[in-house]
DNA sequence: CGAAGATACGGAGGCGCCCTCCGCTTAACA
DNA sequence: TGTTAAGCGGAGGGCGCCTCCGTATCTTCG
């Protein structure tokens, strides 16, 4: 092996990543999100590259396999959802903040229509990804839930994990027709149920009623 | 348009399907089952054709799209599971028959490792398939359950749907490590719970205990 | 600022798979 | 046994995957 003078000196010195590389990576992710959501997970990677305005080689350097790309797109969206929770922490009404976040989460699932199969595959090969997202989402819910509890507006015996599990369970049926409005309705009922009952609860609900006969959690 | 004499006379007369066509179709299905289970759903259709010993054209005539093939393979296996229930109906011990069938179902899920993503995709585009398999499996469970109930060996307040749902729910975690033995254990406990308690229940259980501390349903 | 070197870019090209098409074969029927 | 519809096989055009390397661009350092 050849020894290069000064090698060790610079071994731990990290160079600032090139600006264009960072930019291109972001572009590809954005393009992939659009293309996959529209054309399903079978969509051509060349189409993604073209949409991102980069060469196919660039795409492959950043994401050596198709799964890598799926994973990165998904991870990014989970992070965005997590950041949304950060922002919502500064909202006035804690209960409303939680409600909004939950709705965004449902929307997130909805846009994943075509990707669900791909994600199932990816989750299988990388349980680290599953752990990461569970953790991130639990923390997001937790921060919103805690605030509502601290404000005395919600019962304290529900854990973030419980709520997340309920959310996922509800969304699990997301290939039935009309699932989305059904889930939104159930979430509203759920949040109502979480709330500590006061006179203020007579507040008007914005969601349109599904069926007049729909039972109300007491 | 040209009128062909006698066209109407034979319009409803159906010719017996050619023997080779039937044989080839079956061969392709068998090959597909093997190839997909081994190589995942991405496996090449040409490999399937080669393994089946037919030309690629033949494969495509029987199954115009990849999804058609997935669906047919899956359907066939559901049917086999259903037939197994038929056979088990003539077993001596109704409870044991049910237990055996449930185990076979778990095994069935286990062999679907690589296919689960593909199936998720197929289910999405063909909810008819989902309905078909739910129906078939419910009936299979029902026939076994009924017999056990009729024999006075099981409680009567559990519907086949409940049992199927429990089974599916348990298998839902089938990408965690060690899921299979866990599910088998839970099923045993479940069946025990279904049984009407008698002294005969002291019968030895064949499954090896997982943890000495495992709680028993009372 | 300019040179040097590291890093990233792009896309041509080889490869393998997808799927169609059509001339040949074979089974069913009379 | 002859007729004919049904089925068979696989060549071939096309497309997407992925690698490889000459070129371009960025960072660092003097």
Residues in A touching B174 (Cβ below 8 Å) = none
Q: Quick check: A116 and B123 CB within 8 A? A: no
Q: Which residues of A touch B127 (CB under 8 A)?
A: 175-176
Class of domain B66-161+185-199+206-218: mainly alpha
Residue B10 pLDDT > 60: no
At A119 the pLDDT is 65
User: Which CATH class, in words, describes the domain spanning B17-64?
Assistant: mainly alpha
Do B127 and B180 meet the contact criterion of CB atoms below 8 Å apart?
Answer: no
pLDDT classification of B111: cutoffs 50, 70, 90: confident
Looking at the complex, report in whole angstroms how far the Cα of residue B31 sits from the nearest Cα belonging to chain A: 23
Query: Does pLDDT of B138 surpass 60?
Result: yes
More confident of the two residues A168 and B130: B130
**Averaged pLDDT, A190-216:** 53
Q: How confident is the model at residue A192 (pLDDT cuts 50, 70, 90)?
A: confident
Residues near A183 by beta carbon (within 8 Å), at least 6 away in sequence: A106, A170, A171, A173, A174
A169: closest chain B residue by CA: B169
Angle at A144 between CA A141 and CA A150, to 5 degrees: 130
Report the range of poorest mean pLDDT among A160-174, B182-196, B203-217: B203-217
User: What number is the average pLDDT over the span B4-8?
Assistant: 38
Q: Are B119 and B70 in contact (CB under 8 A)?
A: yes
Residue A208 has pLDDT above 60, yes or no: no
Q: Which residues of B touch A176 (CB under 8 A)?
A: 127
The length of chain B in residues reads 218
Give the max Cα distance, chain B: 81
> Which residues in chain A are closer than 8 Å to B176, comparing Cβ atoms?
127
Question: How would you class A13 by CB atoms within 10 Å of its CB: exposed for 0-12, middle for 13-18, buried for 19 or more?
Answer: exposed
Instruction: Return positions of chain D under 7 A from a protein CB.
Output: 5-12, 15-21, 25-29
End-to-end distance of chain A based on CA atoms, in angstroms? 75
Question: Which pLDDT belongs to residue A117?
Answer: 60
Residue B199 has pLDDT above 90, yes or no: no
pLDDT digits (tens, 9 = 90+) for B146-172: 999 999 998 887 888 878 777 776 665
User: What is chain B's mean pLDDT, rounded?
Assistant: 78
Two structure tokens written together for B73:
């393979």
Give the three-state DSSP class for A185. helix
Cβ atoms of B95 and B154 within 8 Å: the answer is yes
Q: DSSP letter for A195, please.
A: B
Q: What is the mean pLDDT of residues A147-164?
A: 86
| Cβ of A18 less than 7 A from strand D | yes
Of A116, A127, A176, the CB nearest to B120: A116
The CA radius of gyration of chain B, in Å to the nearest whole number, is 22
The pLDDT of residue B187 is 79
The two three-digit tokens of residue B138, written as one number: 């419910």
Assess whether pLDDT exceeds 80 at residue B87: yes
Residues A116, B124: C-beta atoms closer than 8 Å: yes
Q: Is the pLDDT confidence value at A9 over 90?
A: no
pLDDT, residue A160, reads 87
- Pick from B115, B121, B179 the residue to mutate for testing the A interface (most A CBs within 10 Å): B121
Sign (positive/negative) of CA torsion A200, A204, A205, A211?
Answer: positive
Averaged over A22-50, what is the pLDDT?
92
The domain locations on chain A are 18-64, 76-218
Cα separation, B139 vs B79, in Å, equals 11
Residues from chain B that touch A127, judged by Cβ atoms under 8 A, are 175-176
Which protein residues have a C-beta closer than 7 A to any atom of strand C? A 15, 17-18, 20-21, 24-25, 53-58, 60-62; B 15-16, 18-20, 44-47, 56-57, 60-61, 64-66
Taking a C-beta distance cutoff of 8 angstroms, is the pair B73, B112 a contact? Answer: no
Q: How confident is the model at residue B108 (pLDDT cuts 50, 70, 90)?
A: confident
Q: Which residue has the tokens 């308690």?
A: B197
Give A121's pLDDT tier (boundaries 50, 70, 90).
Answer: low
Instruction: Chain B: give the shortest CA distance to residue A58, in Å.
Output: 25
Kindly report the average pLDDT of chain A as a whole number.
78
Identify the architecture of domain A18-64 in CATH.
Orthogonal Bundle (1.10)
| pLDDT of res. B215 | 35
CA distances (Å), origin A193, targets A190, B92, B112: 5, 50, 39
Provide the shortest C-alpha distance from residue B125 to chain A (in Å): 9
From the CA of A56 to the C1' of D26: give the distance in Å: 21
Class for the domain spanning A76-218: mainly alpha
A18-64 and A76-218 have identical folds: no
Q: Which among A118, A123, A175 is the nearest to B175, CB-wise?
A: A123
Q: With bands split at pLDDT 50, 70 and 90, how would you rate the model's confidence at B208?
A: very low
The mean pLDDT of B81-107, rounded to a whole number, is 92
Contacts of B24 (CB under 8 A, 6+ apart): B52, B54, B58, B62
∠ CA B191-B192-B198 to the nearest 5 degrees?
135
d(Cα B4, Cα A68) in Å, to the nearest integer? 60
Could you give phi then psi for residue A69, rounded to 5 degrees?
Answer: -70, -45
Give pLDDT, residue A47.
96
Task: Answer whether residue B20 shows pLDDT above 90.
Answer: yes
Ramachandran category for residue B195: left, alpha or beta (phi over 0 → left; psi -120 to 50 → alpha): beta
Phi, psi values for residue A173, rounded to 5°: -90, 25
Q: What is the mean predicted confidence (pLDDT) over B31-57?
A: 92
Give pLDDT, residue B131: 84
* Ordered DSSP codes for A146-172: HHHHHTTSB-S---HHHHHHHHHHHHT
The pLDDT of A151-165, averaged and rounded, is 83
Q: Is A213 exposed, middle or buried (0-12, 13-18, 19+ CB in 10 A)?
A: exposed
Nucleotide nearest the Cα atom of B46 (by C1')? C17
Q: What is the pLDDT of residue B92?
A: 92
**Which candidate from A120, A127, A176 shows the least CB-CB separation from B120?**
A120
Q: Do B118 and A120 touch (CB under 8 A)?
A: no
**Residues of chain A contacting residue B116, judged by C-beta atoms under 8 Å apart:** 120, 124
Rounded Cα distance, B13 and A215, in Å = 56
Residue B60 has pLDDT above 50, yes or no: yes
In this complex, do A120 and B116 lie within 8 Å of one another by their Cβ atoms? yes
Q: What integer pLDDT is reported at residue B11 of this predicted model?
A: 42
Distance of CA A145 to the CA centre of its chain: 17
For range B8-35, the mean pLDDT: 83
User: Which nucleotides in chain C lie less than 7 Å from some protein C-beta?
Assistant: 6-13, 16-22, 26-29
Contacts 24+ apart (CB under 8 A), B19-24: B24/B52, B24/B54, B24/B58, B24/B62
Share of chain A above pLDDT 90, in %: 41
Measured CA A49 to C1' C9 distance, in angstroms:
13
């Amino acid at each position: 092996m050849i020894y290069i003078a000064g090698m060790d000196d610079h071994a731990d010195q990290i160079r600032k990543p090139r600006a264009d590389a960072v930019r291109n990576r972001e572009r590809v992710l954005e393009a992939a999100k659009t293309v996959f959501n529209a054309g399903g997970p079978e969509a051509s990677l060349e189409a993604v590259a073209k949409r991102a305005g980069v060469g196919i080689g660039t795409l492959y350097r950043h994401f050596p396999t198709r799964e890598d790309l799926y994973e990165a797109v998904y991870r990014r969206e989970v992070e965005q959802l997590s950041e949304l929770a950060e922002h919502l922490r500064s909202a006035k009404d804690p209960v409303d903040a939680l409600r909004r976040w939950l709705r965004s989460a449902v929307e997130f699932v909805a846009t994943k229509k075509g990707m669900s199969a791909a994600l199932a595959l990816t989750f299988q090969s990388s349980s680290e990804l599953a752990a990461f997202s569970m953790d991130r989402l639990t923390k997001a819910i937790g921060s919103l839930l805690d605030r509502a509890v601290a404000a005395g507006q919600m019962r304290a015996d529900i854990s973030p994990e419980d709520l997340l599990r309920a959310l996922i369970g509800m969304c699990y049926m997301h290939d039935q027709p009309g699932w989305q409005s059904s889930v939104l309705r159930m979430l509203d009922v759920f949040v109502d149920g979480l709330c500590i009952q006061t006179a203020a609860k007579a507040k008007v609900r914005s969601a349109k009623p599904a069926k007049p006969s729909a039972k109300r959690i007491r």
